[in-house]
Amino acid sequence: MLGVRLLSKRALRPYSTHPPNARLNLPIDYAATPLLAHAPKTCLSNPELPHHVRDGKTSRLNLFQAVNAALRHALGSDERVLVFGEDVAFGGVFRCSMGLANDFGTERVFNTPLSEQGIVGFAIGAALEGMKPVAEIQFADYVYPAFDQLVNEAAKVRYRAGSTDMHAGGLVVRMPMGGVGHGALYHSQSPESLFTHVPGLRVVIPRSPIQAKGLLLSAIASPDPVIFMEPKILYRAAVEQVPNEAYTLPLSKAEILKEGKDVTIISYGTPLYNCFSAIEAAEKDFGVSVELIDLRTVYPWDRPAILESVKKTGRAIVVHESMINAGVGAEVAATIQEGAFLRLEAPVQRVAGWSTHMGLAYEKFNIPDVVRIYDTIRKVIEY
């Protein structure tokens, strides 16, 4: 009996538990976090939503369902929209395209051969002839074969075509990104900063189902090519009330999630949830007031909103999951230093992935967890 118990205890590695005395690094309670709209009223009070949407109904959706709802609306309202990629036709390996091939036909929702450069090149060509292709790269980790097409072609085509006005606007490249607990080297990457160094591309990362739907519809409507990165850990975890109607949310506009006066935290995507937990603890423990801002679009990003906030608080922390060196945080920190130097009361801090790869067994040490954010808030307050 004892032997069996020991064995089963060993076999069940406690992946989903936390250290018994942990106070900060607790699992995110997505069912309670105020970053998600748990009631229809919360959802519909969003001032960014147009009036007719705010008067409408909502449904409880997770992030992949919100992506699906956006694609469904786009396909249904504009015959130029095409949805394709690897394994998209049966619904996608993350369920984002469920039912779309059935409802809109296999000429508009289809599988492609397994070739990322082909998928993106094909999408650019379709966009050049006036379609609105929404291409899927199965994991952001596999976007690199399409790098040439994205950097040299999609991003530059409007510029080089000049007054002919031939361009690849309408092109959206969706890709699941970020850590998922056990994705290791090739199912965890966050390559957004590689694209923020490319003029001509818009890079968007939603944090929630409401955002996923609104920002994806904006991306499809955008006259510029958009890289749309979906934090895959949130596909099922983040559930909230999402308007049933179609709506767009502005690109290149940050959202203040929580107002504060002592410290500004700037982040996007999944780490926002850890930021919120860290802020709750820090405000209680240190009596500070922290402002939390979601960038939403990481390029071209909302520089005025960030500078305005930091000029008010005097302290800034940038949080992201991808590697710290030359990450989005480097650009944000440098801009703050340039634009708010005299208001700064502490050096701008970056809490980000370490300068390494996502080794399978070590993910929890590599993501910006609550402890690291909490400790950094303390650091800037005590500086």
Partner 1 sequence: MFPRCRVLASRRSSLPLRSQIITERPRPRVPVYNASTRWTSGGVPQKLGSDRVHFPGAVNSKFTTTLSFDQPESRPAMPTYRILDQDGEVVDKERGPPSVPDEEVLKWYTNMLTVSIMDLIMFEAQRQGRLSFYMVSAGEEGIAVGSAAALHPDDVIFAQYREAGVFAQRGFTLDDFMAQLFANRHDPGLGRNMPVHYGSAALHIHTISSPLATQIPHAAGAAYALKQQDLHRPSADAAGGAGESAARRVVACYFGEGAASEGDFHAALNIAATRGCPVVFVCRNNGFAISTPTLEQYRGDGIASRGLGYGIETVRVDGNDVFAVHEATLAARAKALENGGRPILLEAMSYRVSHHSTSDDSFAYRARVEVEDWKRRDNPITRLRKWLEARGLWDEERETDARARIRKDVLAAFARAEKEKRPPVRNLWEGVYAEVTEEAEAQIAEMKRLLEKYEAEYDLSEYEGGIAGLDRKKE
Site string for partner 1, 74-103 (x = CB under 8 A): -----x--x---xx-xxx-xxx-----x--
- Token pair, residue 184, equals 């290791």
Binds partner 1 (CB under 8 A): choice among 237, 263, 272, 333 = 237
Q: Of 38-77, which residues contact partner 1 (CB under 8 A)?
A: none
Stretch that binds partner 1, among 149-157, 207-215, 283-291, 346-354 (CB under 8 A): 149-157
Binds partner 1 (CB under 8 A): choice among 59, 60, 166, 379 = 166
Least Å distance, CB 125 to partner 1, is: 3
- Token pair, residue 236, equals 């099922």
Stretch that binds partner 1, among 14-22, 206-214, 275-283, 374-382 (CB under 8 A): 14-22
C-alpha pair distances (Å), 271 with each of 23, 274, 353: 18, 5, 11
Stretch that binds partner 1, among 40-48, 175-183, 287-295, 343-351 (CB under 8 A): 175-183
Residue 72 contacts residue 253 (beta carbons within 8 Å): no
Q: Cα(276)–Cα(293) distance, rounded to whole angstroms?
A: 10
C-alpha pair distances (Å), 364 with each of 181, 186, 220, 266, 321: 7, 16, 34, 21, 11
Binds partner 1 (CB under 8 A): choice among 75, 174, 178, 179 = 179
For helices 303-313 and 328-339, the axis angle rounded to 10 degrees is 60
Which of 110, 105, 75 is closest to 92 using CA atoms? 110
Q: Cα(373)–Cα(25) distance, rounded to whole angstroms?
A: 10
Stretch that binds partner 1, among 26-34, 41-49, 66-74, 320-328 (CB under 8 A): 26-34
Least Å distance, CB 288 to partner 1, is: 26
- Token pair, residue 187, equals 């199912």
140 interacts with partner 1 by CB under 8 A: no
Stretch that binds partner 1, among 128-136, 210-218, 308-316, 322-330 (CB under 8 A): 128-136
Cα 309 to its chain centre, rounded Å, is: 21
Q: Of 302-361, which residues contact partner 1 (CB under 8 A)?
A: 303-304
Binds partner 1 (CB under 8 A): choice among 181, 285, 334, 383 = 181
Site string for partner 1, 268-307 (x = CB under 8 A): --------------------------------x--xx---
Shorter beta-carbon distance to partner 1: residue 6 or 12: 12
383 interacts with partner 1 by CB under 8 A: no
Binds partner 1 (CB under 8 A): choice among 129, 341, 342, 382 = 129
Q: Which residues are catalytic?
A: 116, 187
Which of 242, 243, 273 is closest to 258 using CA atoms? 273
- Token pair, residue 324, equals 């710290």
260 interacts with partner 1 by CB under 8 A: no
Binds partner 1 (CB under 8 A): choice among 7, 22, 161, 334 = 161
E strands, 202-348, are: 202-204, 226-231, 239-243, 255-258, 263-267, 290-294, 297-299, 316-323
For helices 63-77 and 209-221, the axis angle rounded to 10 degrees is 30
C-alpha pair distances (Å), 127 with each of 166, 177, 301, 338: 9, 24, 24, 38
Residue 279 contacts residue 289 (beta carbons within 8 Å): no
What is the size of the binding site for partner 1 (CB under 8 A)?
Answer: 91
Shorter beta-carbon distance to partner 1: residue 162 or 287: 162
196 interacts with partner 1 by CB under 8 A: no
138 interacts with partner 1 by CB under 8 A: yes
150 interacts with partner 1 by CB under 8 A: no
Q: Cα(289)–Cα(259) distance, rounded to whole angstroms?
A: 8
